[in-house]
């Protein structure tokens, strides 16, 4: 997690204060922080609260593996056709 990222607890507190009207949302800096808090909450709802590097690494390997399978499938379709047309 980067230094400037909010935790889910901080984001929840900021969003609650913004909803209750105790934060001046017309101030651009306050608005930025509230928007960041809302993004953190949406991301936590979508992907879970902990952003562990292990989980990110696993997702990356799954994506790379999927791309390799698709590339092999496309090559399996195209290479025999090219081979047949050139010979």
> Does residue 37 contact residue 10 with C-beta atoms inside 8 Å?
yes
Model confidence pLDDT, tens digit, residues 68-85? 999 999 999 999 999 999
Distance CA 7, CA 40 (A): 8
Res 12 pLDDT > 90: yes
Smallest CA-to-CA distance from 43 within 17, 5, 14, 13 is with 5
Measured from the Cβ of residue 20, the count of other Cβ atoms closer than 10 Å reads 8
Domain assignments of the chain as residue spans, ordered by start? 1-51, 53-87
Per-residue pLDDT, 69: 98
Q: What is the pLDDT confidence band of residue 6, given thresholds at 50, 70 and 90?
A: confident
Q: Is the pTM of this model over 0.75?
A: no
């Amino acid at each position: 997690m980067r230094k400037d990222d909010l935790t889910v607890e901080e984001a929840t507190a900021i969003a609650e204060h913004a909803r209750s009207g105790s934060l001046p949302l017309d101030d651009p800096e306050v608005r930025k922080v509230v928007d960041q808090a809302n993004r953190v909450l949406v991301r936590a709802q979508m992907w879970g609260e902990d952003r562990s590097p292990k989980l990110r690494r696993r997702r990356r390997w799954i994506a790379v593996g999927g791309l390799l399978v698709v590339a092999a499938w496309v090559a399996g379709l195209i290479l025999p056709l090219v081979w047949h047309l050139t010979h």
